[in-house]
Structure 1
Amino acid sequence: MPLCSFYASISLPVAKPHTLPSSAKLPSTAAAAIATTTIPSVAAATTLPTTTTASSEVLSLHLPELPSDMRDKILSLELMGVDYGRALSLNPAIRDASPESIHAVVTFLQSRGLHFKDLGRVFGMCPSVLTASVRADLRPVFAFLTDDLGVAEDAYRRVVVKCPRLLACSVRDQLRPALIYLRRLGFRDNRALAFQDPILLVSSVERTMAPKLEYLRAELGMSKDEAVAMALRCPALFTFNVERNFRPKFEYLVAEMGGGVEDVKAFPQYFTFSLEKRIAPRHRAALEAGVVGLPLPDMLKATDEEFREMLRVTDEEFDELMKRTAV
């Protein structure tokens, strides 16, 4: 079934070439994608204007020199909100994929509960899914969600929209090894892994997760159990970069705030706050206001109004204080 069937299903008629306004232009994303083809003189002949009527939005396309299957792919992906040029650069296999194979992927995902409006996010983040095999690649992922994590069929959409990268991962090589590693560490809540922290399942054990625990052990002097306890309390720690997150924030804690390892063991969420936008400005504001000894959770988790009350200043004084202490 050709992809152009999407056009009829969403009521977007294709206008005849002579109805196109002279000022019409093709969206830059589609124009860039078309320019990558080997068909000559396409860019000059291509327009994709949009006009509005009282009842519907009319999409017009004039691509006389492109093969029909290429027109189908470009228009259909753009209708789903996918930047065809970017998708093609990240997944060159899209060029040779048939409209029918892409349609099979779309149909399968919709049969698993995804909405048409979700497809732009899924394919935009993971263009490789467009050329995935339904049988070999996609079906095993949904079987993993059910069999290994206990996700009900009517909850598939929630999990996939939260983390589209699940669809681009091998169950054998990535998802199941990550799950086994996390369970060995002590992660027992399958629901939390599926609905709150699915990013952990698509993270490499060797390159992403293990190095974070090693940093806590080797550089901060924690025991293995202490490092694991921090990760269990704050799974987001596995997603942060050591050089850009852990190290500068801990150095600031020690050098500027007089804190140390015990503080982050008690409040591992410290690493989840921005150094430039939250940690440093609030610490400096508290110093200027003469308020010392604020516990990290109180200082960082408080709303602006709650923090202002801690500093015991007026609204105007607080605004001026935060302006002066901004990084």
Structure 2
Amino acid sequence: MVPVLDYLGKLGVRKSTFTEFLRRYPQVLHASVVVDLQPVVKYLQGMDIKPNDVPRVLERYPEVLGFKLEGTMSTSVAYLVGIGVARREIGGVLTKYPEILGMRVGRVIKPFVEYLGSLGIPSLAVARLIEKRPHILGFQLDDKVKPNVKLLLEYNVRHTSLASVIAQYPEIMGIDLESKLLSQRGFLSSIIQLTPEDFGRVIEKMPQIVSLSDKAIVRHVDFLKECGFSMEPMRKMVVGCPHLLALNVDIMKLSFDYFKSTMDRPLDDLVTFPAYFTYGLESTVKPRHKMIVRKGVKCSLAWLLNCSDEKFEERMKYDSIDMDDIEEESSFDLNSLMKPSTEESDSEYEDDSDDGYE
């Protein structure tokens, strides 16, 4: 017993975790350090789990020390790599959610991946979701995921939008969804007269709305009221761009001040194109507005903003405005998930620490 505990201690497993460690996997006391434990530790290190993270993995999932290297551990990792999880990401995936090493491919992982595929999410997109949030594999397929998908349909999310909803907010598969949907739909109906059909469209565009706190919603609605919008325009704006309820209010105020004082446009322009608030003021709005002023161009907010920088530069070469050239408002693109994962900044959105999400 002592050699085992000494070995775990030298690895970095904290003594304060020993009681829980032994409660969950008491068999470790009868294991051989050389025959049973060291091979597993070497395997974890071979999966690119950093040495400092190995003890944290063991603390979180001590049962891993009892697995056969050629069994569940290797098959689960091989399957994930097979569907497109990048080999360089495996270490991070297992560090975040080592329980994957104990999951049966045929009983747990493969049915989960195939079900998401049936909803329209390609396996490579599922792989990207797993890279970022590996714990989604722990969501119970029959007890939680499928019932939650059924609930989304009952709350007017269209079947064709399910893939996008899940890809944008994978947590929606595993949370206690029914109570959130019921309370949020009722609250939005009372505060901005959102209809049940409106609520479905809002979820499709920003599924995180189900976890947005009442306090955050009220703060943003109050801001829109202060800007001069009445109930019906606010309803249209939120349906058109639900992110209005989650953006950083201080940044929204700066954007609105510029809109009124410098751009000198009517409020109806924001009702028509509420996504204005999602564009960077310094990086996009100001430089583009200055350019159209210099050229004497009169255009809609959508024509001004809803395109790439390259496309906008091309538009500035036109002799006249082609209204057919306006791109559709951007929506979540599943193809974006196919690309290798990169770190993204959400600086223009409310800080989660400020009671934004529940």
TM-score, length of structure 2 as denominator length: 0.57
| Separation in 1, partners of 2:259, 2:124 | 48
Within the candidate set 272, 275, 290, 2:248 is matched to 275
Structure 1, unmatched stretches of 5+, are: 1-29, 41-62, 315-326
2:108 is aligned with what amino acid?
Answer: D
Instruction: Indicate the residue corresponding to 2:77 in structure 1.
Output: 106
Residue of structure 2 aligned with 1:214, choices 178, 186, 191: 186
CA distance in 1, matches of 2:198, 2:41: 57
Percent identity of equivalent pairs? 14
Please give the secondary structure, in 1, of the residue aligned with 2:194: coil
1:300 corresponds to: 277
**1:35 has 2:13 as partner:** yes
Say whether the 8 Å CA contact 1:80–1:119 is kept in structure 2: no
Partner letter of residue 237 of structure 2?
F
Q: Secondary structure of 1:35's match? A: coil
Cα deviation 1:76-117 (Å, max 9, x = unaligned) = 35447993344445x334554426243332123223332312
Change beyond 3 A, Cα 1:228–1:298: closer
Name the SS for the 2:84 alignment partner. Answer: coil
2:195 aligned residue: 223
Instruction: State how many pairs are aligned.
Output: 259
Structure 1 Cα separation of the partners of residues 44 and 275 of structure 2: 52
Q: Is the 8 A contact 1:80 1:120 kept in 2?
A: yes
Please say if residues 237 and 271 of structure 1, whose CA atoms lie closer than 8 Å, have aligned partners that are also in contact: no
Code of the aligned partner of 1:83:
D
TM-score with structure 1 setting the length:
0.61
> Per chain length, whose mean CA-contact separation is higher, i.e. which structure has more relative contact order (CA < 8 Å, sep 6+)?
2
After superposition, the Cα gap between the structure-2 partners of 1:174 and 1:32, relative to the gap in structure 1 and judged at 3 Å, is farther
Would the aligned equivalents of 1:208 and 1:238 in 2 still touch at CA under 8 Å?
Answer: no
Note the residue ranges of structure 2 that are not aligned, 5 or more in a row: 1-7, 19-32, 295-349, 351-358
Residue equivalent to 1:317:
none
Of Structure 1 and Structure 2, the greater helix share is in 2
1:282-321 residue pairs with structure 2 within 5 A? 282-287=255-260, 289=262, 291=264, 293-294=266-267, 295-296=269-270, 297=274, 299-303=276-280, 304-308=283-287, 310=289
Give the Å deviation of 1:176. 0.7
CA RMSD of aligned residues (A): 4.2
Per-residue Cα deviation, 1:106-135 (whole angstroms, up to 9, x for no partner): 123223332312323433443432332333
Q: Does 1:157 align with 2:127?
A: yes
Determine the C-alpha separation between the residues in 2 that align with 1:84 and 1:37: 15
The alpha-carbon deviation at position 182 of structure 1 amounts to 1.7
**Residue in structure 2 matching 1:92, options 44, 61, 72:** 61
Is contact 2:103-2:109 (8 Å) kept?
yes
Q: What amino acid does structure 2 have at the position aligned with 1:252?
A: F
Q: Deviations over 1:111-167 (max 9, x none)?
A: 333231232343344343233233332132123124x32555566534544653431
One-letter amino acid of the counterpart of residue 202, structure 2: M
Whether the 8 Å CA contact 1:141–1:171 is kept in 2: the answer is yes
Residues 77 and 84 in structure 1, CA contact (< 8 A), matched pair in contact too: no
Instruction: Give 2:67's aligned amino acid.
Output: S
Cα distance in 1 for residues equivalent to 2:215 and 2:256: 20
Please name the residue that 1:45 is paired with: none
SS at match of 2:266: coil
Partner of 2:104: 133
